[in-house]
Structure 1
């Protein structure tokens, strides 16, 4: 005997979605039979299931098949070869009975009354009841030792094409920010997940096979106010939605997981060699004191700002990395037109085994306020030593210097520094 199990027997469902475009599905079902069962058909599984990831607890399995090549016109007709079918004339209602001989390239039959061969008969083809064993949905088919079933089983598997991403909107008004975080879940896995316990796992998980998503229509659903708890997993962060969530196949769902208003931020200006205008960077601490204090998953941040008229304008976007609690969130939103920069190498000369290089940054501030400009200068692959500098600096690492230059409103400031490079070290490959 065969037993079919569907989601109607489901007792519990949990889905853990990963950044890499796959998910771990875990469900509990109750199996009960009145007769000895030797085959269990476990239906309503994801079409993109990774069959080598399936784990079944509570059932001893002798053999497992994944049947996903489901009913279609061609496969259905193949099941009726050598059986009698009827062809009904849609205009007259008359019927002809024939034995189905072939469906390879066209429909060929033998009339039951005259034994004549009929090719592609005109009319409506009427088939008997579905043959036993023909599945209408993807299914895991398990062969077991014949037995009565009265038990719960737990089935878990990985499926491709279920992914999640975080994205944010940031609104700036005067010196305060409003930050809203959203989780976007896209389901192309070929299964519905109804009232699931949903967890989102952040971090890069090594997979041997790259995931590719097929293009297909998307349904949009926006769900408000989904409380989120974070928990630690070794080398990962887990974001758990604190209520059941339904994600249907071919659906894009957005869940709100963060809302912070009225918090302080800093706006800083940065210049690198070759820049003609300063970059604008927004920064704020990811702390409880600043209304945050939870690990923030990587994602795109779109920034909007209120103008003097009260109208809101889009002012840039950037991608933040996974940001742990206590770290600073930094968002670069583009260039500012009223802070200009000109940089160039002023002098390069050799003295013995050393080469002396003088570099200049000319900075101009046309803003109504005094500002600080961070100048980041990079020295790649060189053993060097500073000889002189017009401004204080911090050595960020062996390849980067950072100067802080104060520039008054409607004024200019010039940064000049000289460093020497040991050419012997370059020859030795240091």
Structure 2
């Protein structure tokens, strides 16, 4: 019986060894049969063949690029590096002939000392201490117990809080990278080099228009230059990019909407086009205007850069001296002023007058001729988006030598709901030349003009204005009486 038991025991051990060998052999065969996805291929910016940026005014940009990649037939795992750290994964579009995307993910878990420690919680690391006199290093095995409020290690059987020394790691924890990467599991029909098209939306890139204008001696024309101020708030460099700037607002909820696949695919061939040697005229697209910068632009991480957008010479302008708020129908106001005239400059956006292109909104800084031929800063104002055929109005501040005062001359209460009131407005001009001045204000509802010394113009139902010619070193006045019935 004992021999039978011994025999059965030997057979059992034999069978267990055979089973273990079979499991090991199966594991080896399974490992050899793993798809190429287990071997990750890196695709860096060195494989980039073309790059285009379409930047919006709202902290949003479309990045379109083409990279050369060598893929094996079947499945492969690709790590696309040198992408924006603010990439929006739900907007990524990868495409190439004969290529199918099985899955994709964005990894922005970057390698930092804190993340190394967090990945080592409950694990053993090496703690290196250097003797202060001999300089010799002593290495201890240390278990990372906690990072809450500070580093807690178990060293040589003792718990230490924020222990002295250097911490060394035998290997990097999986998933941590020095730079963000887009991971993609792909299925390719053929092996060899392919042109991979990549497009995605990202935050961190924006632009605005800034204008510089120089007035001529006669103050009737100016030379206007528009500059695009680009800002790169990402941790990525965008070298030699074909640049397009979109003027106009795109609808956003919490985050910018995901761009439709057809829209992104349509954008990419245009983005890959070779830029012209001269600036291209803005193109209308979906109720917005797209401005293409003539030459490739390099935009480095954290950089703010200006590039020319458009220019126009000899643009005709008109200067206006204006008093708003002097004409009032409030009987409680006895006197207003003296106040200085607002200096307003108008330029009509038409080809006949030197412009004739849609102007994106931006700040216009105006310089004029100063003493000794040196330029003099006259003022700045934000110009609203100005389509072709519209007029832009820019406020340059107040005129020092053109002033006005308004005095109430009459008031009569007719009933609880009606009254009559009048004003006299005197404008003085201390300049050496005559000027035209606009004097106006907003009157109460239910007003009617009873008498006036000069005919007024209506700018709206309740806004009126008088045009007065004021001689050099002289003055001009207007008086009126209105009835208000409510």
Are the aligned partners of 2:244 and 2:291 in contact in 1 as well (CA < 8 Å)? yes
Is the alpha carbon distance of 1:165 and 1:254 closer, same or farther for their aligned partners in structure 2, counting shifts above 3 Å? Answer: same
* 1:264-283 aligned within 5 A: 264-274=316-326, 276-283=339-346
2:431 corresponding residue in structure 1: 367
Show the counterpart of 1:21: 59
Greater mean alpha carbon deviation, residues 140-149 or residues 322-331: 140-149
In structure 1, the residue corresponding to 2:282 is in which secondary structure?
strand
**Partners of 1:148 and 1:104 in 2: CA distance:** 50
**2:115 paired residue among 69, 75, 83:** 75
- Report the count of equivalent residues: 405
User: Which residue of the partner structure matches residue 289 of structure 2?
Assistant: 237
| Contact 2:315–2:355, Cα closer than 8 Å, also in 1 | no
Q: Which piece of structure 1 moves more, 401-410 or 59-68? A: 59-68
TM-score, normalised relative to structure 2:
0.73
Question: Matches of 1:18 and 1:27 in 2, distance apart?
Answer: 17
Alignment of 1:32-43 (within 5 A): 32-34=70-72, 36-43=74-81
Q: 1:195 aligns with which of 240, 257, 261?
A: 240
- Partner Cα distance (1:52, 1:335) in 2: 51
Q: Which runs of 5+ in 1 are unaligned?
A: 212-224, 424-430
| Structure ID, larger Rg | 2
| Map of 2:222 onto structure 1 | 177
1:12 maps to which residue?
A: 50
User: Comparing 47-56 with 118-127, which one deviates more in the overlay?
Assistant: 118-127
Stretch of structure 1 that moved more, 36-45 or 89-98: 89-98
Q: Give the 3-state SS of the residue equivalent to 1:229 in structure 2.
A: coil
User: Deviation per CA, 1:9-45, whole angstroms, max 9, x where unpaired?
Assistant: 2232221111122212222333322475443322222
Alignment partner, residue 106 of structure 2: 66
**Contact 1:87–1:121 under 8 Å retained in 2:** no
Question: In 2 relative to 1, CA 145–319 (structure 1 residues): closer, same or farther, beyond 3 Å?
Answer: same
Confirm or deny: 8 A CA contact 1:78 1:103 kept in the other structure: no
Alignment of 1:217-228 (within 5 A): 227-228=279-280
SS at match of 2:373: coil
Q: Is the 8 A contact 1:3 1:37 kept in 2?
A: no
When normalised by structure 1's length, the TM-score is 0.82
Q: Higher helix fraction: Structure 1 or Structure 2?
A: 2
- Which structure dedicates a bigger proportion of its chain to strand? 1
SS of the residue corresponding to residue 309 of structure 1 reads: helix
The 8 Å contact of residues 302 and 317 in structure 1, kept in 2 or not, is answered as yes
Matched, 1:101 2:143: yes
Q: Does 1:302 align with 2:361?
A: no
Cα-to-partner distance string for 1:220-247 (whole Å, 9 max, x where unaligned): xxxxx98353111122111111221111
Structure 2 residue ranges without an equivalent (≥5): 1-37, 257-276, 327-336
In the alignment, what sits opposite 2:180?
Answer: 138
Does 2:207 correspond to 1:155? no
CA, structure 1 residues 142+94, in 2 after alignment: closer, same or farther (shift >3 Å)? Answer: same
8 Å contact from structure 1 (residues 265, 282) kept in 2: yes
8 Å contact kept, 2:73–2:188: no
Of 392, 395, 408 in structure 1, the residue corresponding to residue 455 of structure 2 is 392
Separation of aligned partners in 2, 1:134 and 1:100:
21
Displacement of 1:136 in angstroms is 1.3
TM-fit CA distance, 1:85: 4.7
Once residues 371 and 17 of structure 1 are traced to their aligned partners in structure 2, the CA distance between those partners, rounded to angstroms, is 45
Deviation at 1:289, TM superposition (A): 3.5
CA shift, 1:184, in A, is 0.7
What is the CA–CA distance in structure 2 between the aligned matches of 1:86 and 1:308, rounded to whole Å? 72
Offset of residue 174 of structure 1: 1.2
**SS in structure 1 of the partner of residue 87 of structure 2:** coil
